[in-house]
Amino acid sequence: MAADAGVQVTELGAEDHACLTFGEPEDLFDLTAAFVRDGLAAGLKVVWLSDASPGQAAGELGRRGVAVESAMARGQMTAAGWEGRLLSGPVFRADAAVGWLAGELESCREQGFPGLRVALDMSWALRPVAGVEELPEFEDGIAAALDGSTAAVLCQYDRERFDPVTLASVAGFHTRAVAAATYHADALLRICRQYAPPGIRIAGELDFQAGESLGMALAEAVRLGGDIMINMSALAFVDARCTLMIADAARAIASLSRLVTLRCLPEVAAGFARLGLDGIPGIRLAASGDR
């Protein structure tokens, strides 16, 4: 089945075999955190395979407002490596990997969970692994295993590091294509949705020339509902006009009795404080660490 264009990670459900492409680790962790958060909230069992240790994985999720320690302790959440699951040493075999997934589905049922969510960081396939040519077979096997199940699988591919031919060869096996909604992306500036915690993320250098993209992103942040984070941790510069636009959006959100967090570098925070945003009920100016 061909992948749908552009579905949000928060819209995934049972039987979805989704292909997440990401451009930077921040995207990967953000989208994974949303996938894990929604799965745990629905009472599902959640498994995330990556090269991060369980502690590192919990740390990345925790920083995004998804506390997983208790879920890990009670067996609802597993963060683990690829070894013994997708890989056996430097060897990949599609049938063995599909067998691991079938085993997870079986144990999920036995443990009484209503469903399973699996996130698979696929960067192992960039390593010198024997049998990597069986990757399309593995993706096909996942699709078969999910048919009629209550499980969803999110395969995570780094679009900067995987070659386009490999990405194209596996895309067809997925039912959904997932990526961060992006309002602006060039060498200087990236403005995209943030999923965990909900909001938008602005990185790079922002000035009036990107005012239209910023306006669209801020309008979405107002529409999202609930508490919002405008994550500017990696924003090195913002000009007066865009500072004012962000401040106006923050005031608008706060006036709806919602909490808006502006996370930014101290020098950027000073610009918001100059506009009187410091100390307004509902607006939190949170200085992030050094670049």
Partner 1 sequence: MTAEGRRQQIGPGGGVPPVGSAPLDQVFDGGSLYALRAAVAAHAAAAGLGRLQVYDVTAVAHELAANAVVHGAGHGRLRLWADGGFLYCQVSDDGPAVPADEAGEAADGAAAWPAEHGHGLWLASEVADDVGIGIGPAGTTATARFPLNPE
Residues near partner 1, by CB under 8 A: 188, 205, 207-209, 237, 239-241, 244, 266-267, 270-271, 274
Give start and end residues of each alpha helix (H) in 112-265.
135-146, 164-171, 211-224, 240-254
Distance of closest approach, residue 239 Cβ to partner 1, in angstroms: 6
Place of tokens 């386009």: 164
Distance of closest approach, residue 227 Cβ to partner 1, in angstroms: 27
Distance of closest approach, residue 144 Cβ to partner 1, in angstroms: 50
Angle (deg, nearest 10), helices 164-171 and 135-146: 30
d(CA 160, CA 236): 23
Distance of closest approach, residue 267 Cβ to partner 1, in angstroms: 4
Which residues, in sequence order, are CB contacts of 175 under 8 Å at separation 6+? Answer: 1, 3, 4, 15, 16, 17, 18, 143
CB 19 within 8 A of CB 169: no
Query: Toward partner 1, which CB reaches closer, 57 or 210?
Result: 210
Query: Toward partner 1, which CB reaches closer, 137 or 205?
Result: 205
Distance of closest approach, residue 208 Cβ to partner 1, in angstroms: 6
Query: Toward partner 1, which CB reaches closer, 81 or 215?
Result: 215
Angle (deg, nearest 10), helices 94-110 and 135-146: 20
- Backbone dihedral angles phi then psi of residue 36, each to the nearest 5 degrees: -70, -50
Two tokens, residue 166: 């490999």
Distance of closest approach, residue 252 Cβ to partner 1, in angstroms: 15
